[in-house]
Structure 1
Amino acid sequence: MDRIRDALLSGERDRAALAALPLPEHYRAVTVHRDQAAMFEGLAGRDKDPRKSLHVEDVPVPELGPGEALVAVMASSVNYNTVWSSIFEPVPTFGFLERYGRTSPLARRHDLPYHVLGSDLAGVVLRTGPGVHAWHPGDEVVAHCLSVELEHPDGHDDTMLDPAQRIWGYETNFGGLAELALVKANQLMPKAAHLTWEEAAAPGLVHSTAYRQLVSRNGAGMKLGDVVLVWGAGGGLGSYATQLALASGATPVCVVSDPGKAEACRAMGAELVIDRAAEGYRFWKDERTQDPREWKRLGARIRELTGGRDPDIVFEHPGRETFGASVYVARRGGTVVTCAATSGYLHEYDNRYLWMHLKRVVGSHFANYREAWEANELVRRGVVHPTLSRAYPLAEAAQAVHDVHRNVHRGKVGVLALAPREGLGVTDPGLRERHAGAIDRFRAG
């Protein structure tokens, strides 16, 4: 790996030279182990510590198959699916790997006693397998996280409807929190030239998810003038939803959990911000009973900020904790578009407010290649910016995951892999200079 790192840091991008570099037998990666999947049994999710389950260790380099690429990872980032993997919730991910491994002899590579995690990367292509023609060794890339076989007709209208679609690094092995990663070639997209490696690795999963959820016809179909309630607007997913709403001429109402995140939202250009902790919202009286008075108080606060308008769209991802409130506050005929469910999957709401007020609930999951590509183009053009607040070295990846689990972060948390320090990888300093303030706004504080 040292030879590969030195070549990449030197700026070497000659296809033949990189293709001729010998691959190591092993590489460093962030893993969980199958034989430790029961280590947190009996603990509440909030009490499970990723620093106890995550390992940074040497693992064998996987075989490269047709239609695949091996990428040298300069940087990656932490998503909530890595938190789930690390605490073995809602189920250990080894069941995903086992089922995938049964689908073909090539997929059997993924069914291992360890799981290399991570669903984002920015790096350089090292090798491509048979049948790959659009990408070559030396290409600077980011990867979106949809892994799909496209052997079923349902996937050819929208790949997210393919019954064999999986999230790379969560439902497949050989993810991006590592020095090397194995991806399908149709996961690759060009890296933004004005961003550093760690910045370029940050948007991928969350930005593409927010794009489909809000902008795409497969999601809420946000339009000019819409009022959009964004839960967790200072976090990874919500920070991109906020930017997309602003760029589309919509009005985001940003819900955050502390003053620092409120300030980050204002720095993005959002004017309407609710600090739910400071204003004391408690949507549940206890674990089984919601408090509709709090739904109504939130609705009144939103109308106070918007001049009397209810949200056309509610951007939902906390799940159980907030879903009842989301259904209530959406306007008549409005849309609650939902993914993830970081506070729990079993949602409860009062159906009278859905059915009698003609509201819609739309489920949304990641993004197809076209949606991910369009989202990435917004980053490359400087329309949407990374929301990276901090980057850890690979050796401290468990702490990075712990930060996200405990919600003590802003925006996205990055992880350096082959990049030895932050600030490397910019090849368009002119474009960067024009957007420097926006790129760094989550770094403050």
Structure 2
Amino acid sequence: MRINSSLVQSLFSSVFTFLPRLRKPRNFFLYILPFSIVLGRFIPPSYSSTLNEIGVSLVQLIAFPAIPLVLSAVMISIANIFGSETRSNSDRIRFGTRFVVSLLVAILFASSLALLLSLYQSPGILSPSAKLSIGRFMLDVTDIRIGAVSTVAQVNDIWFSRLIPSNIFADASDGQTLKVITGSVIAGLAIARLRSDSTQPLLTLLRSVNTTSVQVLSIVLNLAPLVLICLISAAISTINAEIVVALLNFTICVFLTAIASLGISRLVFRRFTSTSERSGISVNPVDSVFLLSLSTGSSMTAYPLLFDTLTGMGRDESEVEASASLSLLIARLGNVSYNVIAILFALNLYDVSITPVRVVEVIALGAITGISAAGLTGVATVPTITVALLYFQVPAPPILVLLLAIDPILTLPRAATTGVLAMAIAVVSSYKSPSQKDLKAAASAV
């Protein structure tokens, strides 16, 4: 039977026209989320693994252009900031100071916000029925417990063995993101110290990689609604309903942190942008960054939108590239807030008293362990809280079992928190580039 090529093209065109519409916030809550929940409740458990594999594969497809996109941006931006002859030392100091201060403030904000919401929601303070459901769950998932314990052994090497690069191409192929980040920063500084005529071919190549990655990412992002449907349906189908109820306060805290971060980032965007910069924008772009990160479970997919928005407003390209890429890759603020909530959950679960000194310790350890998750994705980020649990002398394996059980759902708001706070950092750090009119006025004044 012959297939009409025009019919196939029309079908694909209709699908790729329809899917981007589902990425709007209104359609997510009205259509995608209810459909995914209903589908997850009615599909047989045997199909859930297939849906999860499809969802994970689509996430990998979406993430693969995001890595070279952001890492090439790191090298280009650092080379431009520290090697540009047109940029004065005062400009470099100004950008570095604003970026470091805004990054530290964002880390403190994320950890403090998560702590306040946790104190209000009291995750880990469970009813007798919730404790009984957790006990049943623990007895039924000894294989998960073994996996969690084996994962704990990998936590101690997060900082050093994952930080020092060996071969940037081999590290990239092995998924050693932290090593690639370190190598990209060092390479950017090296490019900045060389003559511009000798580094121009390399920068041109990096620009080509960056532009191509943006184009590939814009194509594969159309699959984001399908990712949500597959992952949420699979999670609803497999996660024990009793565990969801028992950990309801913990889940609410994570989602509330993401929503509160969205609200604060919206305020930062309005406060640190002028009316003229926002004149060409019909909606607050922070909303789009939030939904894009939420729908893909990866904050790095929001980089093109973040970059295009700020550079379209006239912000300096190099400063936007550096602040956005470094905050997305290194300061994973969603992991910081998540780890604070998880630590307080564990302390409440084991009836550890919460004192003012312990509150400060929770904030500090949550921030440290959250940042240590840079380069890790998905469930691999969960065991980073082990260091904090051992510090408070709380048994780690049972906590990790519970967190790993519901992590497929919580990965989404964690990425959304990282995305919107990274945009807030980029807005505060970047500087508006002078227009041609301003440059002519300055030249005439001289």
TM range (shorter): under 0.3
Kindly indicate which of the two structures has a greater share of residues assigned to strand: 1
Kindly indicate which of the two structures has a greater share of residues assigned to helix: 2
Q: If you compute each CA radius of gyration, which structure gives the higher value, 1 or 2?
A: 2
